[in-house]
Amino acid sequence: MNDLLALLTGVLLVGGLLLVVLGARRRPRPPRRVRVRAGGVATWSRLTRRPPGRAGRRRDLLLLLGVLAGAATYLVTGIALTLVLVPVGVIGLPWLLADPSNRELELLRALDRWVRTMTATLQTGQSVPDALRGSVRQAPDLLVDDLRLVAARLNDRWTVREALLAMADSLDSPDADAVLAAMVLASERGGTGVSTTLRELSESTQDRLKSMREVEVERAKPRIVVRQVTVITVVALVAALFLVPDFFQPYTTPLGQALLAALLGAYAGALVWLRRLTAPARRERILTPEVLR
């Protein structure tokens, strides 16, 4: 009875931690869809937030391996809590130790490439609307859809200013605001001022990219150290599992399993906190409605 109580306590602790980790992940709000009757696979995907395609299959394979590894660990150690801890660790540790995506850096790279393409095109004598339409063919993947909308809006008799400001709202980034605001000013100047403004904008974007890369390198240093410490710890524990199995004997008791769940939960919470601290901070946009009013 005590073992069952300890197992249930551990499951609740680890389940709560897993929910915190899943809730901490920033996900775009999915589009609203018509509710349809789903089968078992669809229900599993919805409840576990299964990624689509190959990533989802890889996640399910990792989960299966984690369940098998947890069962094997339980048979060796007798710690019932490992039936839950090992699968959660197999799924959660790679995400906690991975580098968080930096959308701002990727977007700025795409904007820099697009601005240089626009500068070269405008130097041939094309107008700004024509250059915007033509830039769709050579645009980075991150900007293709937005530039297609810009071209369509220009064809619907939107002004360059209106089309570019709508693109800024879609990208929702302060760096994109700075680039597109300069692009709007350049389009309103006309003549040789366009090429000059875009050339200066490209140089400014390059400086911003350089500084962002340096900041990203500094942010990665603590993650690398924690990743190394975690890998060494896991390897040492696995080695002790086979070489010194008596080491885990105190954790087979109800109090030991509760202590084990608390220690691992505290460590996982520290990893979540580290990921939050080293993630890029959200900055306020420049082209807000108050500014444009």
Contact residues for 213 (Cβ-Cβ < 8 A; gap 6+): 105
Domain ranges of the chain: 53-98+246-275, 103-216
Distance, in Å, from the CA atom of 162 to the CA atom of 142, rounded to the nearest integer, reads: 21
Q: What are 157's two structure tokens?
A: 């008799």
Residue with tokens 């991975």: 98
More confident residue, 58 or 34: 58
pLDDT more than 90, % of the chain: 3
| Count of Cβ atoms closer than 10 Å to residue 285 Cβ | 18
Compute the average pLDDT of residues 40-52: 62
Distance, in Å, from the CA atom of 265 to the CA atom of 242, rounded to the nearest integer, reads: 24
| Residue 152: band (very low, low, confident or very high) from pLDDT cuts 50, 70, 90 | very high
| Residue 11: band (very low, low, confident or very high) from pLDDT cuts 50, 70, 90 | very low
pLDDT digits (tens, 9 = 90+) for 200-243: 878 888 888 888 888 888 888 888 888 898 889 888 888 888 78
Q: What are 172's two structure tokens?
A: 């929702």
pLDDT digits (tens, 9 = 90+) for 122-138: 777 778 888 888 888 88
CA quadruple 113, 116, 122, 127: dihedral, nearest 10: 40
Q: Residue 171's closest CA among 120, 232, 104?
A: 104
pLDDT at 148: 92
pTM exceeds 0.85, yes or no: no
pLDDT digits (tens, 9 = 90+) for 60-93: 787 788 888 888 888 877 788 888 888 888 888 8
DSSP sequence for the chain = -HHHHHHHHHHHHHHHHHHHHHHHS--PPPPP-------HHHHHHHHHTPPSHHHHHHHHHHHHHHHHHHHHHHHHH--TTHHHHHHHHHHHHHHHHSPPP-HHHHHHHHHHHHHHHHHHHHTTT--HHHHHHHTTTT--HHHHHHHHHHHHHHHTT--HHHHHHHHHHHH--HHHHHHHHHHHHHHHH-TTHHHHHHHHHHHHHHHHHHHHHHHHHHHHHHHHHHHHHHHHHHHHHHHHHHH-GGGGGGGGSHHHHHHHHHHHHHHHHHHHHHHHHHSPPP---SS-HHHH-
> CB–CB of 80/3 below 8 Å?
yes
> CB–CB of 50/60 below 8 Å?
yes
103-216: CATH topology is: Receptor-associated Protein (1.20.81)
